[in-house]
Chain A
Amino acid sequence: ETGVTQSPTHLIKTRGQQVTLRCSSQSGHNTVSWYQQALGQGPQFIFQYYREEENGRGNFPPRFSGLQFPNYSSELNVNALELDDSALYLCASSLGDRNTEAFFGQGTRLTVV
C-alpha cells in the first residue's frame, strides 16, 4: 500500500451536476497531482498542487478545479459534469514538485449518466 487514500471509491452522478473527490497524501509528501484515466488509456495530467498552490495544469477546462489544504490533502472539483468525464480519477503524492517517486492512490471511479 502507498499510503495515498482517495474517497469515494465509486460514485455515479448525473450530467450537469458537480462532484468533489478527495485525496490524502502519503505522510511526508507535500505535493498532490491529479490525473484522469479513461478506460483503456494511460492517465492524463489534470493539475498539480504544491504547498497549497496550483503548480501546473494540463489540457483540462476551468470547470476542473482543485484545492490543497495545510495538511497537504487535496480536493478535485468538477462542475457541469459531462458524459465524457466518466473515468478513473487518480491522485499521486510526492515530495517536491517534480513528481519523483510519485505514488498513486486507488482512484475514484466516476460514472456520469
Chain B
Amino acid sequence: GESVGLHLPTLSVQEGDNSIINCAYSNSASDYFIWYKQESGKGPQFIIDIRSNMDKRQGQRVTVLLNKTVKHLSLQIAATQPGDSAVYFCAENKGSYGKLTFGQGTILTVHP
C-alpha cells in the first residue's frame, strides 16, 4: 500500500547545528512532496515543496533533497534555532486530485 514514513521520530540538536529530518515513501508514482512544520496547538505550516522532476530545492535556511532511486526525502535546516522546535511532517501527493498523505512526524527539539 502507499505510505510515507519517517526514520527518526525524535531529533535533538544544539542551537546553531544543522538538522536533517528524513522521510521514506513507498509509492513511486508520487510526484509532489511537501514539508510542513507544526507547532503545538497550531495547524501545519508550509515550509518547502519539491516536484519529482527535481533532486534538490533550497529555501531560506532549508533545503529539501529528493532521491527517487531509494524513495527518500530529507529536510535540512541550517543553523537551527530554538524557534525551529516543532513536529515536522513530510507529505506526498499523487494522482488526479490533491490528497496529501502524511508521514508520522519527527519531533525536533533545539536546545539553547
> Which A96-113 residues have C-beta < 8 A from chain B?
96-107
Stretch at the interface among B38-46, B53-61, B63-71: B38-46
Scan residues 60-113 of chain A and give those whose CB is less than 8 A from a CB of chain B: 90, 92, 94, 96-107
A99 adjacent to B99 (CB under 8 Å): yes
Chain B residues closer than 8 Å to A97, beta-carbon distance: 96-98
Instruction: Say whether B42 contacts A90, CB under 8 Å.
Output: no
Q: Is the CB of A103 within 8 A of B99?
A: no
Contact flags B68-112 to A (C-beta < 8 A → 1, else 0): 000000000000000000000101010111111111110000000
A100 to B100, CA, bound (A): 9
Tell yes or no: A25 within 8 A of B by CB: no
> For the complex, what is the distance from the CA of A43 to the CA of B44, rounded to whole Å?
9
Asked if A102 and B34 make an inter-chain contact with CB atoms under 8 angstroms apart, the answer reads: yes
A107: chain B residues at CB < 8 Å are: 42-43
Top 5 closest pairs, chain A to chain B, by CB: A99-B98, A42-B102, A56-B97, A104-B43, A45-B99
A-B contact pairs, 9 of them (CB 8 A): A4-B43, A41-B105, A44-B102, A48-B99, A56-B96, A56-B97, A98-B93, A102-B100, A104-B43
A binding-site residues for B, Cβ under 8 Å: 2, 4, 6, 31, 33, 35, 41-45, 48, 50, 55-56, 58, 90, 92, 94, 96-107
A55-B97, A94-B98, A102-B34 known; 19 new pairs, CB 8 Å cut-off, are: A2-B45, A4-B43, A6-B43, A33-B98, A42-B89, A45-B101, A48-B97, A56-B99, A90-B44, A92-B44, A96-B98, A98-B97, A99-B98, A100-B32, A100-B98, A101-B34, A101-B46, A103-B46, A107-B42
